[in-house]
Amino acid sequence: MKTIKDFDLKDKKVIIRVDFNVPMKDGVITDDLRIVESLPTINYALDKGAKVILMSHLGRIKEESDKTKRSLKAVSIRLAELLGKPVKFVPDTRGEELENSTEDIVLMENTRYEDLPDKKESKNDPELGKYWSSLGDIFINDAYGTCHRAHASNVGIASNIPSGIGFLVEKEITALGNALNNPARPFTVILGGVKVSDKIGVIENLALKADYILIGGAMAYTFLKASGISVGNSIVDEDSIEFCKKMLEKYEDKIILPINVVKAKDVDSEAIECFVNQIGEDEEGFDIGYQTVELFSQHLKNSKTIIWNGPVGMFEVDKFSNGTKALGEILKGIDAIKIAGGGDTGAAIYQFGFEDAFTHISTGGGATLEFLEGKELPGIAIIGKWIMKLVVGNLKMYMNLEETKEYISVLKGFNNDNVVICPSYIYLHYFLGHNFNLGVQNIFSELNGAYTGEISVLQVKEMGVKYVILGHSERRITLNESNEFINEKVIKSINNGLKVILCIGEHEGCEDKEEFLKSQIDNCLKEVKLDNIIIAYEPVWSIGTGKTPTNEEIKNTIDFIKGYINRNIKVLYGGSVTANNINLLNQIDNVDGFLVGGSSRNAIEFLEIISSVSWQKLTLFSCIRQN
């Protein structure tokens, strides 16, 4: 996964999604921990020469009056104090002030202002995500607490520009990932909280991984009732009784329940410690008792990995906080990897001063729950999946065996799924097993038969080929291939699972370019499903000549092609694409990639072209170093 360290940040505008959802009272921040946690990522970006645009939510915005109460203005003031640098606060989520800001640090107003009236932020409105992404060059997600949500300010932005994670998110997923996937054993989990239904997936997933699961909190009473014990007026998740029965039967030696609790008639009544079967009909359990603490301690003291998610009692009330405090004291004395979930668990740990006892305390409650459940977190899953422009290298009938091997030695460390290399047929097998897509420069119109010297789509598919170039002007001119013959090959390729790169383009002096292109499109794509069709616009007069149309001419022609086909189809540009002109060509906003001829034969120059349209510049340098 890409992190902030994988990008060249100098002179870039970097959008950082942070979690400034801090508690406030009467407009005053009561706990700035989340702001403090964001500082390493912000400072790193600034130190590397970036200008930083910060985005965060603060609470929910349900009506206009919420905006006044949940403005990030106070956060900008505290952030400036912590950074020791000025922070420009933009009191809006759109507009010229935000778009034209040149300050080193900008904090935009609460992203959830966009939730009025139609929840554009929370519903990941595509237009909003695209607009916000236009404000920067690179996106860094460092808001772990919202990673389980697909919002415009995380998934929306990351879908449009190069993206990575910040230090906080990296720390979170590393700590939790290592504990879940490669735990030192014994591995023990403490689960608390209220409703079992909120943690069914967590329990199921952790039961497969952990050696012991210690159940506390209000959810313990659902398990106790499922085991046949009367729990009085204690909170019970009735809909989860059957689930608890099945889990207790399946994992009877793994799931550990309380043996005694602290009960009371209500929160204001006297607290009494008793065995679990001594809760009266008018009484309720509020905490685990001393003997349960001892039982849990026996399983914890030898553990090498411990995850705690959910308090084991109503810790907010002093007389029902002893169980949570006691477990915190026990954990202080245990030499193990100790990880605490966010939300109420983190709040209890900080309230009682146990933060130094833990290897890691998560900053996200909901995100951590879904991580423990084994769910994919949308805000993390999208990272690195921004689609760069497709780059196709047509090696034509060049390079001998020695040159081919040398070419591959330069490219072998390269890893990019949006690059296609089309070598000569006889050298295809040398390209197998590397991290780029293979294409061929042509196939025949039949699947098999007495066609001396021809190659079938079925044969190249067996070699791992995914793409085929058809209709290239060199074949049209030299071998007199007609639109109708190309159409036969297109149909065979599509029907047998290849993606077709169909070349079209006008000759120099063509009197009506649009009519000429229409004819090629209509005849080459007759009765063809367009799902796996990519168009490569190559003006014939430009191929191999060093001459290219102006950017405006290319843009207008591609607009015409896309409009005529009336479909969201990829259109590449080809025709004397080089490392010298790629940056200029890449400025054309409707070009979906490039078909590269002569310049693709030089591996270093080809990598420079790829790098110019890709955010993976470090990959280029690593390839060159390997060579």
Note the residue count of the chain: 627
- CA separation, residue 466 to residues 107, 250, 270, 489, 497 (Å): 45, 47, 73, 15, 8
190 backbone φψ class: left, alpha, beta (φ>0; ψ -120 to 50): beta
Helix (H) or strand (E) holding 457: helix 457-462
List beta partners, residue 204. none
Q: What is the distance between the alpha carbons of residues 598 and 574, in angstroms, rounded to a whole number?
A: 11
CB atoms within 10 A of CB 93: 21
- Residue 460's Cβ-side half-sphere holds a number of Cα atoms within 13 Å equal to 32
Q: What is the distance between the alpha carbons of residues 62 and 119, in angstroms, rounded to a whole number?
A: 9
> Per the residue annotation, which of 472, 474, 481, 506 is the catalytic one?
472
Retrieve residue 129's tokens.
Answer: 């995500």
Q: Is 299 a catalytic residue?
A: no
List beta partners, residue 361. 340
Helix (H) or strand (E) holding 280: none
Contacts of 418 (CB under 8 A, 6+ apart): 387, 388, 389, 390, 391, 593, 614
Rg (the chain; Cα; Å): 31
Contacts of 495 (CB under 8 A, 6+ apart): none
DSSP 316: T
> Per the residue annotation, which of 114, 172, 506, 538 is the catalytic one?
538
Q: Is 472 a catalytic residue?
A: yes
Q: What is the distance between the alpha carbons of residues 284 and 263, in angstroms, rounded to a whole number?
A: 5
Helix (H/G/I), strand (E/B), else coil: 533: strand
Helix (H/G/I), strand (E/B), else coil: 438: strand
Q: What angle do CA 76, 80, 81 make, to 5 degrees?
A: 120
Write the single-letter amino acid at 616. Q
DSSP 389: P
Strands 272-275 and 260-264: antiparallel
- Pair 595, 573: CB distance under 8 Å: yes
Catalytic (active-site) positions: 472, 538
